[in-house]
Amino acid sequence: MKRRLPPLSRIGQGGASIVETMIVLPTLLLMVLGIWQAALAYHAKTSVNYASFEAARAGSVANASISSIHAAFQKAMLPYYGGGRTLAELGESAIKAAKDMDAAGLRIEIISPTPESFADYGSPALKAALQSGEPVLPNVGLDELNCPRDVPGCASDPKTNASGQTLLDANLLKIRVTYGIPPSKQMPLLGKFYTWALGKLGAAGTDGFKQALIKAGRIPVVAHAVVRMQSDAIRNSAMVSSPGKGNEGNPTEPGPGPVEPGLPTCPWWDPTCSTCVDGAGNGNCEIPPEVCPA
């Protein structure tokens, strides 16, 4: 009796499915965790954007006080830390937020006004009226003032003054918030891989605070907010120095430079005319005009 041989398709394939599973499952798991980590980072960025705007609004009516800005930011971040439907639950979320957003996890900087703005437009009368130990910027009558009323000869020319700003510019409150997403709000494994990759790629640059966040396992998130001051700004230690001329007094577009010439505009029906500028020969082609007719 003849012995039946197994089909060729079964020869040499024992355990192949185990090998495929060992390759596919980790890859699939990494992809799913990566998607979840991206979603969590997006949720954190949205929360920080909203909280930054609320913080700037609070600072605009509180003389640019950094304590008011910080308190408003922390309050606006309560939903991110669990929120609550009762005072007790809100209190628990506030405790979590305060514990997490200490000096090691949150940095708030005031980009405008700068210390140089107070050197140019500080009002001694307002400083005395508010009983402040720091210089004060006027906020009333900006539509008709170039200088404080008690300092009519101030350095109001942004081409030559220390701040590079006008008095109107100096009354724009701009804050920059750098927040570190804590490990407890990251995906297991992927969060550590994410911060490890950020550290290896040098994502923090020369910023020591961001470097410390990454070293602590936090993912840095940066947000900006700009509002018009509604009170007299008082100089404080959170204001970042930025001396220099204000674009020589001329507004400058902050976007990219001029765009290079676009794609050729040759007739669509002529495949040989690929370097025409205006779709006709007339000396505007790199190939002979007879090949690229008008």
CA separation for the pair 99, 105 (Å, rounded): 10
What pLDDT score was predicted for residue 20? Answer: 74
What pLDDT score was predicted for residue 3? Answer: 63
Beta bridge partners of 108: 177
What pLDDT score was predicted for residue 175? Answer: 94
What pLDDT score was predicted for residue 250? Answer: 58
What pLDDT score was predicted for residue 277? Answer: 46
What pLDDT score was predicted for residue 281? Answer: 44
Take residue 111 and report the two structure tokens written for it. Answer: 């980009």
- Element containing residue 228 per DSSP (H, E): strand 219-228
What pLDDT score was predicted for residue 99? Answer: 86
What pLDDT score was predicted for residue 271? Answer: 61
Residues 6+ apart with CB under 8 A from 278: 265, 284
What pLDDT score was predicted for residue 179? Answer: 94
What pLDDT score was predicted for residue 278? Answer: 47
- The set of long-range contacts for 150-153, using a CB threshold of 8 Å and a minimum separation of 24, is 150/123, 150/124, 150/125, 150/126, 151/121, 151/122, 151/123, 151/124
pLDDT in tens, the chain (294 residues): 566 655 655 555 556 677 777 777 878 888 888 888 888 889 999 999 999 999 999 999 999 999 999 999 999 999 998 888 889 988 998 998 888 888 788 999 999 899 999 999 999 999 999 998 899 999 988 888 889 988 888 888 888 888 888 899 999 999 999 999 998 888 888 888 888 888 888 888 888 899 999 999 899 999 999 999 999 999 998 898 877 665 555 555 545 555 555 555 566 566 665 554 444 444 444 445 554 544
CA separation for the pair 163, 117 (Å, rounded): 5
Q: What is the DSSP letter of 207?
A: -
Provide the total of helices (H) and of strands (E) in the chain, helices listed first: 8, 3
Question: Where are the chain's structural domains?
Answer: 36-244
